[in-house]
Structure formats: C-alpha cells, structure tokens
Amino acid sequence: MSGLGASERDFDFEFGVWRVSHRRLRQRLVGCQDWDSFDGTAAVRPVLGGHGNIEDNVLAMPQGIVRAIAIRSFDAQRGLWAIWWLSSANPLAIDAPVVGRFESGVGTFVADETVGGRAVRTRFLWLDTRTAWPRWEQAQSADGGATWETNWTMTFERVEDFDGAG
C-alpha cells in the first residue's frame, strides 16, 4: 500500500454481480437536457493477483444490447488507479485511461482526450461506495475543468457476491 491512502483494495466493494440502472445524456457538451434510461448488468472480479479488476457489462441501450468492459489496474508506487473502457459499439478503440484515486470513500479519475476534434477533460466519480447502492458518474468539460457536464450515471444493486480469487 502507498503512503497516500490508496490501496489495491479500493474496488473490492464492487466485486460480484450487479443489476445496474443507467441514465445517459443523448448528446454531450451541446446543452442537451434529454436523457435515456436503461438497465444493465455488471460482473466484477479481481485480476492481476488483486492489483486490478475487470467489470464486464451488458447494457440494454435504446439502440440495442452493447457489451463493454472496464479494465482497472493499480500502481502501488504512485497510489493511482488507471481505468480503460472498451465497448462492442467500437471494438477497435479503447478509451484513454482515466487516472486517479479514492479519498474518503470517493474515487475521482480524470483524463484529457480529444472528442470530435476538440480538447475535452473526462472525469469518473465513484460515490456511495460504502453503501448497498454504489454510484458511478461520468462528466466532461470543454473548458479545462472549470465547468462539468454529467453525461452518464450508473447506480448499482448487488445480485450476488464474488467468491473467487484474484
């Protein structure tokens, strides 16, 4: 464990199988106020001897079923997590990793990327991780982080605990 309070155990709360309620903004960074709501599932297990994990998702999106994975790895020296997203909607492109850590039960992870030809900062937040309904939020900023637009939320409800090893 690093001296920063971050740990390879930060995501242990998520191990298991979950029913997921999604809300996703239809268009990003254009002032859109229209949201799609849909259900999904997530199965999360440790990998890399416990220094990483995989979240395997099934999303019942309005346009059809999409499969996706979040791949996470922990750098103990820096006390930082990196999270990548890969989706069957675009299977040849993995998103730039968001990087960050948990502090006081809240995980904050950011990345700078280019979306539609413009510089965008992306932020993932993990909230309520010490409750029965953890919540994930994605937001983006086109002004370097001065303002944020939340464009996707996921609320998790546990279906089954994880009983395997990393």
**Structure tokens given for 5:** 């309070």
- Is residue 11 within 8 Å of 72, Cβ to Cβ? yes
Buried b (16+ CB within 10 A) or exposed e, 16-35: bebebbbebbeebbeeeeee
pTM (two decimals): 0.90
Domains and CATH numbers, the chain: 12-27+36-153 (2.40.128.20)
Alpha carbon distance 77, 20 (integer Å): 33
Which pLDDT belongs to residue 160?
Answer: 83
Three-state DSSP class for 105?
A: coil
Tell me: pLDDT of 166 over 60: no
For 95-138, what is each residue's pLDDT tens digit?
A: 889 999 999 889 999 999 988 788 999 999 999 999 999 999 99
Q: Residue 76: which region, alpha, beta or left (left: phi > 0; alpha: psi -120 to 50)? A: alpha
Among candidate residues 57, 17, 11, 12, the one with its CA nearest the CA of residue 38: 57
For 17-67, what is each residue's pLDDT tens digit?
A: 999 999 999 999 999 999 999 999 999 999 999 999 999 999 999 999 999
Give the single-character DSSP code of 94: B
Give the burial class of 3: count Cβ atoms within 10 A of its Cβ; 0-12 exposed, 13-18 middle, 19 or more buried.
exposed
Which pLDDT belongs to residue 5?
Answer: 65
